[in-house]
Structure 1
């Protein structure tokens, strides 16, 4: 999946939705004359799932640390990693599986994870009709749009279904559940609305939009049923980290401030903090999806990516037959910045 990453970087078109200038200066007038360091983050997708990040931007926590954030939505971990390796982005926000793949390829300037943002899968299982008494046995003999092969959302879905006693296979006539990986992540909702599959997975705000449009109905939380895994983390290349230690520390400080703020804020306050990034979504809907992610305890309380958590992810990857060997935690994870943030920020 990641063998052609370097080749991808030469042709990757990152003319995707670039969000700039969203940092709030309301409470940071002292920074008006300060020259900020620009940091480009390549997001694997643009979702309210990343609420602590958006809150950290609009509440001015990054500006407080002397950073101006630019966001690029790459629509896929492979493309996010390509942006990082090609230096189109300084920091990547994606699942740590991408850094595992790249490390195992033998890439010398591989990506190192330094801060965790989410601790569960943020996708929801969506059906064509309301199913208030949903049980996973309902997926027997059905077709599910699951996402990109090699991606954590697909692997986590398969992990949950196996835990629920379902058999995954293409022959649905025998009661198997066919998990399709041929539909790109960004168009899954549209494909489902167009009649493909019996179920699909979707992140927020897409899942709520589907319910409003009556093209699908949320029946289960994959993240709640799979348990905790390091679903989304920040990473950068070894070389960038070595050359920008102070910047990475300040970045982690800002993120941690956002994580602390989100834990204390109300659903409405969090929704309002994210509104500049989701202007096409009503405040009411934002509040609803914030509540949904809070209810499954989706966001990490601090930036530390723990070894046991990463090992669980690699177990899921191994079970999905997407990982031949585990990557050493000490090589692809650096917790120094996270530990320093926790020590100094109260």
Structure 2
């Protein structure tokens, strides 16, 4: 297990053979396909169906509206990455021009925006967990909106591997997908408190109360689907978001970049 932060770095690890399976935003597989990759990267299990990040403000805003971002500086994500594209998609859905109505700072590395915000940079920041909750606990910020809720159901993350690896190791992919489905089943059948208690050892830097708060946020916004099947409808929506962001020159074929047979078998 290794953790290269960001879909671009994860995709590089898969393409180079450093990793057999990658967990990332599926936009990376579309980009590499359109760039003419000889051994395309195929999505075989969709994990989350909502964005997992939140908008954090410097002050509590009980009646927050996306209009409130106009004229302000927001710490955003990497250009072409799902966090930033979903954020801009929401802005456009609310009649806000990401280029003209506010300033989005995309220069800060993934994982460093919370520290930058805590240090005084920006009026708002878009944060994953545990960054969002940490800022609240420190009294440095307040979660005012969920991008996952406001963007709707988006195929945010998926597991993928090179086409050649899947063909040569179907038993590995099936076993891996079966294990993922067991995790999905557990999440479906247990409370946030029970889930937090099970995963606590994986997050030594956070206490159980913090982990429970984070899991509850994700649980209540229906982040996880009941199975891992990556539907064509979801894939089309993903490409709609890419197109709106100006990051997609040609739409990629669903049948080439998505394989549902392993997820369908795991769900039986």
TM-score, normalised by the number of residues in structure 1:
0.76
1:62-211 maps to which residues of 2 (within 5 A)? 71-169=1-99, 176-211=101-136
| RMSD over equivalenced CA pairs, Å | 0.9
| Aligned equivalents of 1:152, 1:264: Cα separation in 2 | 29
| Aligned equivalents of 1:322, 1:263: Cα separation in 2 | 35
What secondary structure does 1:313 align onto?
A: helix
**Mapped pair 1:299 → 2:229:** no
| Aligned equivalents of 2:222, 2:251: Cα separation in 1 | 27
What secondary structure does 1:73 align onto?
A: coil
Aligned residues: 268
Higher relative contact order (CA 8 A, sep 6+): 2
TM-score, normalised by the number of residues in structure 2:
0.98
What secondary structure does 1:233 align onto?
A: strand
| Aligned equivalents of 2:225, 2:158: Cα separation in 1 | 10
Q: CA deviation at 1:342?
A: 1.4
- Name structure 2 gaps, 5 residues minimum: none
Q: What are the Cα deviations for residues 256-278 of structure 1, in whole angstroms up to 9, with x where unaligned?
A: 01101111111111001111210
| Aligned equivalents of 2:98, 2:83: Cα separation in 1 | 15
Aligned twin of 1:324 = 249
Aligned twin of 1:270 = 195
Q: CA deviation at 1:118?
A: 0.3
Aligned twin of 2:164 = 239
Larger Rg: 1
What secondary structure does 1:185 align onto?
A: coil
Runs of 4+ aligned residues of structure 1 deviating over 6 Å after TM superposition are none
- Name structure 1 gaps, 5 residues minimum: 1-70, 171-175
Which of 289, 305, 310 is the equivalent residue of 2:235?
310
